[in-house]
Structure 1
Amino acid sequence: MARAKKWFGTAIVLFILVGLPAVSFVYLRNGANYRRSAIEAMGDYGKMPSISRLVSIRGEVPKQWQGAMTVVGWLDPTKEEGTRLYGHMLDSLYQQFQDSPNLYFTTIVLAQDPDAAVEDFTTTYNLPASDMLSFLQADERDFAATAEAFQLPLGSYDSPGIQPIVALVDSSLTIVQHYDLARRDEAIGLVQLISLIIPLPAKQDIILDRGREL
């Protein structure tokens, strides 16, 4: 019995001295590799074009884009499926990051009655008045021109808003990636990349849809 206790005690000491550091090393190495891979996946689609000429419908764009991260989306309520998917994802993203600093969500809107369209959209998808959220009015020309300037990956016959594609702009005002929020893997990629750079609030889980964990 004494010998067994001695070996058991020795095993515990070895685990503390050797096992735990090894596990920690692997964990930290994997975390560093994941962060490196995520950052390396970021591209360079040019500098963020100016959208200051667009009139604000709700919320104000940041006075200083530099030093922040911005997710830019396009909303055309006549594209019902794209609008539904974008609304659910914007709601989910806002709920997760609403307490995070230096992160903004800006939506460019094409609608006959922009004020009514934004009111209906924000009510339907539980989006409150917030400094983090802004909606900008665009006519057909500006709606298409901004999508082109942000280099959205659209098909030859597609228009912005058909798919809930967003552009991610980093703190240097570089467009670093596009995400189709209709694709689960890309939506997860956007959340994870933002989380690496702008941490989630304490004890917050990453979710894709409200009420659903990844």
Structure 2
Amino acid sequence: MADAKKFLNTGVLLLLLVGFPLVSFIYLRGGSKYRKEAIETQEDFGKMPNLYDLEPVRGSLPPELKGAMTVVGWLDPTKEDGTRLYGQMLDSLFQQFRDSPNLYFTTIMLAEDPEAAADEFATRYNLPEDPMLSFLRADERSFATTGEAFQLPLGEYDSPGIQPVVALVDSSLTIVKHYDLARRDETVGLVQLISLIIPLPEKKEIILDRGKEL
């Protein structure tokens, strides 16, 4: 009986000293590898143009974007399908990451009355006045040229806003990725990459499906 108890104690000790640390090491190594692979998917589409040249119509950019991550989108309310998908996804992304540090969502708008259009869009898609959110006025020329400067993957005859394509800008102000929010896999990829770099608020989990095509 004493030998069996000694054997059991030895087994428990080995589990504590070797088993659990080994499992933890394997888990952490796998997580580190996943994070490295995700980050390596980033590319380099050049430096973000100066968005401070565009007039804010709802909210405003922070004084400094360097050191933060920024998701930049284009909104033309006359493009109804693109507007609907962009609104749904922006709502989902904001709700998921609201209160996360150093993360901003800014939207470049083309509209006859951009202030009214931004307010209507924000009301429809549950986007409050928040330091994380801003909408910037653009005329037809700046709307197109910013799309070109961000190297959006558009067709020859397409313009920004037809598809809900966003650009991700990293902390060095480099444009590192484009995502078409009409595609679930790309939206999930955006969520995963942000969550690897920007911590989620406490007690919140990554949400991959809020019933809004995310």
Give me the TM-score of the superposition, normalised by structure 2: 0.93
Deviations 1:175-212 (A, max 9, x none): 01111111111111111111111110112111144368
Whether contact under 8 Å (1:66, 1:172) holds in the other structure is yes
One-letter amino acid of the counterpart of residue 143, structure 1: F
Q: Distance in 2 between matches of 1:77 and 1:196?
A: 32
Q: Distance in 2 between matches of 1:186 and 1:113?
A: 31
The CA deviation at 1:6 is: 4.9
Q: Distance in 1 between matches of 2:3 and 2:83?
A: 70
Deviations 1:39-86 (A, max 9, x none): 111111000011222111101112111111111000111111211111
The CA deviation at 1:27 is: 0.5
- 2:124 is aligned to 124
- 1:61 is aligned to 61
The CA deviation at 1:157 is: 1.9
Q: Distance in 2 between matches of 1:81 and 1:12?
A: 60
One-letter amino acid of the counterpart of residue 199, structure 1: P
Please say if 1:75 is aligned against 2:81.
no
- 2:47 is aligned to 47
Runs of at least 5 residues in structure 1 that lack an aligned partner in the other structure: none
Q: Distance in 1 between matches of 2:165 and 2:6?
A: 62
Distance 1:100 1:28, change over 3 A: same
Q: Distance in 1 between matches of 2:104 and 2:127?
A: 13
The CA deviation at 1:2 is: 6.2
- 2:17 is aligned to 17
Aligned pairs for 1:83-102 within 5 A:
83-102=83-102
Q: Distance in 2 between matches of 1:40 and 1:183?
A: 21
1:206 aligned counterpart, secondary structure:
coil
1:66 aligned counterpart, secondary structure:
coil
Q: Distance in 2 between matches of 1:197 and 1:2?
A: 53
Runs of at least 5 residues in structure 2 that lack an aligned partner in the other structure: none
Q: Distance in 1 between matches of 2:156 and 2:189?
A: 25
Between the two proteins, the alignment pairs up a number of residues equal to 214
- What is the percentage of aligned positions where both structures have the same residue? 71
- 1:33 is aligned to 33
